[in-house]
């Protein structure tokens, strides 16, 4: 496809392309660190190569005119090619997950009311008339929100003085037509993706679900980049909040369209996310999350009016956010525990949600121990030379047999990069076949030719369309080592704190999008997970999203979330006396032989 856009002279191409509505992958937020925003200059004048580009692009790519769009500036009319791997593509979204069933016990109630119309001898104000009708129905309404008052008079008249008043904690949330369903919204607000669920709160049935990218990704792929952006100036945090609220508003629009309802039928909402996403959505300061000792601004659950942050739902609708456990163990982990019931498991259970940060909870003998591991973004394709998110064309499965590499890509598209599950499989295959050793070094006798930069090819250059093959470099292997080492160290420290061994684990629950698609065998063979039988692992999909739905359906679940927060023992790994030693051992591929 050819597209002409206006670019301001001297402005980074990334900015001009964004303004022209061409989304490029910018995992590092445009700081030049991720190397994902490659474009190929075909003709025209551009700024000098920067040292960041010289480091981030291979000599072949530099020869072929590749540049980083966040560093390169147009100096006149320009023609560029954008490789598919640089284009922001819709990532595979994980909406489904295990959530079990929960008794319908929402925090809102719909009360049918019928009123007589005012007349010359009955001059009671409309809001008083509604409150009186509710009292006659046995309720004691305490307040009517101003947002409802603005349209209440015309609504009552239009509906013939009959409808359903929705109440929450004595407040009138809204007044609905007799036959309109009362809907609830649950959102799993991830750092890169958002999943939304619309639920009929009269029946507990799902009305619609959908997902989309978190629009904040433009400002960096991981929470630390977002925190840095929020701290840049006083407008940064407000801007990030506006961006995510607008994104959720778009999600609501799509859900309502699919379900055939109006957004003012949404009378209650639950939003879960990691602590940084939680704070940014609620408009709370995040500076302290980036500073030792990384404490959240708030641990307890929050409930506030949706219109306080500009999210348009029913006039008096509230947003509930479950509690955070620590700076890097957030409300989404609490939701995951609720969905999987890991915290109530009879045996010894470990539950992990793998992402840029991996949160782990160990449930043993009535104790709950939790930690957060800095596993980094490698499994999301960042910091991996040919890594990409799980989008069409990403290599998602790799196996090596009879000396040949076999690949599967998402949606069977021609390969344009490698996503987390493919990277994990590839490294596991390289280790099993002795291409790398326990320390992650390439075994030169296993490589076809002598090379100064060890590289394991997965896709030959004629197929990859990049002027070079796709594969894994020594540096990529190092990144995976750091990620898997962090996760295994977290697992080992929790087991030590509980004074048990991995053999005593009855179940390991693996949640999240990457957790759903990763090959358990690969994770075990590189030593990321302990060597348990494969039937001890349970991959549960988007359990955080399912937990959000449970919190929407049941007030008891909200009370349970508070109990989890109060009972969980958080273990801070960075100050744990054994962490450094355990981590050093966990870095080695294969069996973990701890200190």
Which positions lie near ligand FES, rule CB under 6 A? 26-28, 30, 32-37, 68, 70
User: CB 355 → ligand FES: shortest distance, Å?
Assistant: 19
User: CB 226 → ligand FES: shortest distance, Å?
Assistant: 14
DSSP character at residue 18:
H
User: CB 18 → ligand FES: shortest distance, Å?
Assistant: 11
Contacts of 237 (CB under 8 A, 6+ apart): 230, 231, 280, 283, 285, 286
Look-up: residue for tokens 């990691």?
274
User: CB 282 → ligand FES: shortest distance, Å?
Assistant: 28
Helix, strand, coil tally for the chain in percent (to 5): 35, 25, 40
User: CB 560 → ligand FES: shortest distance, Å?
Assistant: 41
SS (H, E, C) 446-509: HCCCCCCCCEEEEECHHHHCCCCCEEEEHHHHHHHHHHHHHHHHHHHHHHHHCCCCHHHCCEEE
**C-alpha of 67 from chain center:** 29
Task: For ligand FES, give the closer residue by CB, 33 or 333.
Answer: 33
Task: For ligand FES, give the closer residue by CB, 23 or 177.
Answer: 23
User: CB 458 → ligand FES: shortest distance, Å?
Assistant: 22
Task: For ligand FES, give the closer residue by CB, 29 or 541.
Answer: 29
User: CB 378 → ligand FES: shortest distance, Å?
Assistant: 15
User: CB 52 → ligand FES: shortest distance, Å?
Assistant: 7
Task: For ligand FES, give the closer residue by CB, 72 or 201.
Answer: 72
In terms of Cα–Cα distance, which of 395, 406, 416, 405 is closest to 517? Answer: 395
Task: For ligand FES, give the closer residue by CB, 78 or 270.
Answer: 78
User: CB 420 → ligand FES: shortest distance, Å?
Assistant: 18
Query: How far apart are the C-alpha atoms of 410 and 476, rounded to whole Å?
Result: 21
In terms of Cα–Cα distance, which of 424, 375, 421 is closest to 223? Answer: 375
Q: CA angle 254-260-262, nearest 5°? A: 80
Query: How far apart are the C-alpha atoms of 483 and 460, rounded to whole Å?
Result: 27
Q: Cis bond leading into 293, ω under 30°?
A: yes
> By the 8 A CB rule, do 491 and 529 touch?
yes
Let me know how long the chain is.
595
Query: How far apart are the C-alpha atoms of 572 and 576, rounded to whole Å?
Result: 6
Whole-angstrom CA distances from 505 to 531, 540, 572 are: 11, 17, 22
Task: For ligand FES, give the closer residue by CB, 37 or 89.
Answer: 37
Task: For ligand FES, give the closer residue by CB, 70 or 207.
Answer: 70
Task: For ligand FES, give the closer residue by CB, 28 or 371.
Answer: 28
Whole-angstrom CA distances from 159 to 119, 129, 132 are: 17, 14, 18
User: CB 83 → ligand FES: shortest distance, Å?
Assistant: 13
Distance linking the first and last C-alpha atoms of the chain: 57
Task: For ligand FES, give the closer residue by CB, 225 or 357.
Answer: 225
Task: For ligand FES, give the closer residue by CB, 32 or 415.
Answer: 32
Task: For ligand FES, give the closer residue by CB, 12 or 530.
Answer: 12
> By the 8 A CB rule, do 253 and 194 touch?
no
User: CB 484 → ligand FES: shortest distance, Å?
Assistant: 24
> Edge-to-edge strand order for the sheet containing 171-176?
109-114, 162-168, 171-176
Task: For ligand FES, give the closer residue by CB, 33 or 237.
Answer: 33
User: CB 27 → ligand FES: shortest distance, Å?
Assistant: 6
Task: Concatenate the DSSP letters of all residues of 418-454 into one string.
Answer: E-HHHHHHHHHHHHHTTSB-TTS-B-GGGSSS--SS-
User: CB 48 → ligand FES: shortest distance, Å?
Assistant: 16
> By the 8 A CB rule, do 308 and 281 touch?
no
Q: At what angle do helices 275-282 and 223-232 cross, to 10 degrees?
A: 30
Query: How far apart are the C-alpha atoms of 447 and 469, rounded to whole Å?
Result: 15
Task: For ligand FES, give the closer residue by CB, 220 or 440.
Answer: 220
**Nearest residue relative to ligand FES (C-beta):** 70
Task: For ligand FES, give the closer residue by CB, 48 or 179.
Answer: 48
User: CB 222 → ligand FES: shortest distance, Å?
Assistant: 12
> Edge-to-edge strand order for the sheet containing 537-539?
537-539, 507-511, 349-353, 358-364, 367-373, 569-570
């Amino acid at each position: 496809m050819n597209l002409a856009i206006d670019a301001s002279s001297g402005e980074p191409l990334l900015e001009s392309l964004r303004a022209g509505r061409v989304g490029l992958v910018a995992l590092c937020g445009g700081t030049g660190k991720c190397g994902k925003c490659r474009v190929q200059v075909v003709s025209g004048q551009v700024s000098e190569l920067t040292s960041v580009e010289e480091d981030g692009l291979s000599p072949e790519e530099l020869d072929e005119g590749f540049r980083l769009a966040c560093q390169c500036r147009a100096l006149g009319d320009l023609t560029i090619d954008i490789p598919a791997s640089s284009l922001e593509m819709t990532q595979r979204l994980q909406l489904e997950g295990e959530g079990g069933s929960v008794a319908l016990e929402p925090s809102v109630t719909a009360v049918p009311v019928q009123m007589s119309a005012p007349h010359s001898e009955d001059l009671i104000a409309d809001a008083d008339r509604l409150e009186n009708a509710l009292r006659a129905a046995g309720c004691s309404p305490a307040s009517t929100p101003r947002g409802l008052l603005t349209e209440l008079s015309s609504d009552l008249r239009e509906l013939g003085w009959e409808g359903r008043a929705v109440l929450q904690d004595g407040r009138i949330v809204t007044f609905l037509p007799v036959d309109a369903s009362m809907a609830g919204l649950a959102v799993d607000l991830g750092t890169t993706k958002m999943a939304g669920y619309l639920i009929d709160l009269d029946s507990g049935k799902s009305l619609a679900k959908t997902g989309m990218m978190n629009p904040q990704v433009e400002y960096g792929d991981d929470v630390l980049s977002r925190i840095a952006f929020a701290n840049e100036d006083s407008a940064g945090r407000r801007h990030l909040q506006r961006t995510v609220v607008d994104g959720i508003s778009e999600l609501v629009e799509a859900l309502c369209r699919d379900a055939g309802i109006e957004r003012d039928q949404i009378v209650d909402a639950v939003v879960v996310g990691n602590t940084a996403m939680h704070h940014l959505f609620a408009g709370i300061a995040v500076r302290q999350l980036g500073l030792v000792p990384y404490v959240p601004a708030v641990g307890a659950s929050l409930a506030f009016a949706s219109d306080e942050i500009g999210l348009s739902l029913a006039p008096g609708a509230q947003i509930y956010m479950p509690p955070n456990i620590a700076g890097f163990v957030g409300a989404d982990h609490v939701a995951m525990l609720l969905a999987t019931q890991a915290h109530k498991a009879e045996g010894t259970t470990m539950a992990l949600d793998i992402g840029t940060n991996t949160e782990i909870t160990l449930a043993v003998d009535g104790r709950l121990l939790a930690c957060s591991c800095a596993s980094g973004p490698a499994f999301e394709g960042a910091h991996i030379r040919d890594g990409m998110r799980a989008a069409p064309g990403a290599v998602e499965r790799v196996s090596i047999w009879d000396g040949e590499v076999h690949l599967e890509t998402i949606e069977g598209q021609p390969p344009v990069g490698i996503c987390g599950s493919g990277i994990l499989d590839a490294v596991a295959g390289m280790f099993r076949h002795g291409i790398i050793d326990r320390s992650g070094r390439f075994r030169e006798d296993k490589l076809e030719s002598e090379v100064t930069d060890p590289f394991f090819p997965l896709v030959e250059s004629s197929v990859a369309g990049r002027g070079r093959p796709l594969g894994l470099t020594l540096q990529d292997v190092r990144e995976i080592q750091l990620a898997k080492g962090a996760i295994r160290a977290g697992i080992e420290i929790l087991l030590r704190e509980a004074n048990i061994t991995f053999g005593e684990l009855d179940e390991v629950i693996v949640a999240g999008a990457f957790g759903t698609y990763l090959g358990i065998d690969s994770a075990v063979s590189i030593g990321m997970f302990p060597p348990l039988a494969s039937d001890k692992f349970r991959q549960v999909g988007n359990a955080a999203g399912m937990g959000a739905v449970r919190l929407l359906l049941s007030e008891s679940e909200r009370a349970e979330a508070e109990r989890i927060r109060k009972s969980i023992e958080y273990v801070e790994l960075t100050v744990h006396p054994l962490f450094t030693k355990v981590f050093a051992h966990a870095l080695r591929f294969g069996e973990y032989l701890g200190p």
